[in-house]
Amino acid sequence: MQTKTGNPAVIGLAGFGMTTFVLQMVNIGLLDNMGPVLWLGVFVGGLAQLVAGFQTGKTGNNFGYSAFTIYGAFWLAFAGILVGNKLGFYTSSHTDIGFFLLPFTIYTGIMFYGALHIHTAEASIFGSLLLGFILLVLGHFGPAFFNVIAGYVLILCSFCAWYVMAHIIYKDVCGRDVLPVGSPVLQPGEKVSAAEAVAAE
């Protein structure tokens, strides 16, 4: 008899959405204290997402495994930047943080293409996240008003993440699809086995 296991995505999406949302309160000027961002970055966006990522890896879902693990590590690294700047060691300037954000922007672009093959709601998460990262990079290398625009875009992104989280939970507890997530924007091709993928390389 197979034991039912929980879907780690409900933790990863929740942690990502919560931490992203609170950071945007800083970007749009509603929150002055970075303390909540630091601790959310360590425990909720960071550790919770890492755990979700490691658990997702056991299911064979490479997309979720990569996303939750990398973005979890992102939040831990960002928390480290906040601590370093506060304590005065390995301090990072506004431009330095722009360089920190740049590879995550590229990574998100790669993941966005994959999200287009999952469903519309997933594509909405990664599409808004990609746009938000682009705006943040522009804001750290150029005019700061791009950071404010990014804040509003990423608030939308956090709600998209919570929507998909709620979709998974409600479908499980209600026994029906309460919050539909749409069809894939791009249709996936025929899946190949792991052995065939290795042979193709």
Q: pLDDT tens, 71-91?
A: 999 999 999 999 999 999 999
Q: What confidence category does residue 4 fall into, taking pLDDT thresholds of 50, 70 and 90?
A: confident
Q: Domain range spanning residue 29?
A: 8-199
- For the entire predicted model, the pTM comes to 0.92
Note whether residue 1 is domain-resident.
Answer: no
d(CA 75, CA 21): 13
Q: Name the nearest CA neighbour of 128 among 100, 164, 96.
A: 164
Give the pLDDT of residue 148: 98
d(CA 101, CA 103): 6
Q: What confidence category does residue 195 fall into, taking pLDDT thresholds of 50, 70 and 90?
A: low
Note whether residue 12 is domain-resident.
Answer: yes
Note whether residue 158 is domain-resident.
Answer: yes
- Number of structural domains (the chain) is 1
Note whether residue 2 is domain-resident.
Answer: no
Note whether residue 40 is domain-resident.
Answer: yes
Average pLDDT of span 121-140? 98
Give the pLDDT of residue 191: 62
Note whether residue 145 is domain-resident.
Answer: yes
| CA-to-CA separations, 61 to 8, 33, 68, 105, in angstroms, rounded | 11, 37, 11, 22
Note whether residue 125 is domain-resident.
Answer: yes
Give the pLDDT of residue 190: 66
Note whether residue 3 is domain-resident.
Answer: no
Give the pLDDT of residue 197: 54
